[in-house]
Amino acid sequence: MPVKVLARAKTRMSASAGPHRRALALAVATDTVAAALRCDRVRHVIVVTDDPVAADELAALGARVVPDEPDAGLNPALVHGAGRGRELAPECGVGALSADLPALRPEELARVLDAAAEAPTAFVPDAAGVGTTLYTARPGVTFSPAFGGDSRAAHRARGARELLVPDTAGVRRDVDTLDDLRAALALGCGPRTTAVARLIIALHTPA
């Protein structure tokens, strides 16, 4: 999972989140990591981040934190993290999961990973149908993510299998806008996101 330096995270929500933007970014990442760690298909959760606060919080949950040594953008960071995963568990597949899925459920992630195991590479499109929230590669298969921009089309073009598994809305619901946050809350977010979201929603509620 890639986690941005908190000062640069969730910039699209600067206006709507106000003073709670950094807290929201950390809360969403924390809830996402916690859910992934509870998934019985997941051997290790590796977080790639250069933010010391996020690193400490996520390591305390049980994630393995590595710095973004390539420092060359999102996809090189993911390849770096996947390489660490293959060192730890060479018999396992690897996957890059968005760190802003606050409504993620361990059982939903398990169903998606079971489906992903049937293809050399696979991906899950985001709720908007433009981006990607999960990209996977089986053991021995080149891990070549194409996050950013129209990554759904990019992953299709690389031959990855698109996964649209029923009843896995939490795996697809990333949060970039206030409307996204409200949609995630409707699905049911983790406790950290829910607490911060209350503060943000209050900013937009008439007195």
Whole-number average pLDDT of the chain: 96
User: How high is the pLDDT of residue 70?
Assistant: 87
Place 206 in a pLDDT band, splitting at 50, 70 and 90. confident
Mean pLDDT across 30-36: 98
Q: How far is CA 64 from CA 48, 49, 59, 119, 149, in A?
A: 9, 11, 6, 26, 28
User: How high is the pLDDT of residue 98?
Assistant: 98
DSSP state of 2: B
Asked if the model's pLDDT at residue 207 lies above 90, the reply is no
- Annotated binding residues for phosphoenolpyruvate, written as ranges, equal 132, 148, 151
Question: Can you give the pTM of this predicted structure?
Answer: 0.96
The dihedral formed by the CA atoms of 73, 146, 121 and 5, expressed in degrees to the nearest 10: 40
**How much of the chain, in percent, has pLDDT values that exceed 70?**
100
CB 53 within 8 A of CB 3: no
Asked if the model's pLDDT at residue 79 lies above 90, the reply is yes
AA letter at 203: L
Q: What tens digit of pLDDT does each residue of 9-28 get?
A: 999 999 999 999 999 999 99
Q: Which two tokens stand for residue 11?
A: 């910039």
What whole-number distance in Å separates Cα of residue 20 and Cα of residue 11? 11
Place 40 in a pLDDT band, splitting at 50, 70 and 90. very high
Cβ atoms within 10 A of the Cβ of 42, count? 17
- Annotated binding residues, written as ranges, equal 132, 148, 151
CA distance from start to end of the chain: 39
Task: Map out the domains of the chain with their CATH numbers.
Answer: 6-203 (3.90.550.10)
pLDDT winner (highest mean) among 6-15, 45-54, 65-74: 45-54
Supply φ then ψ for residue 19, to 5 degrees: -70, -5
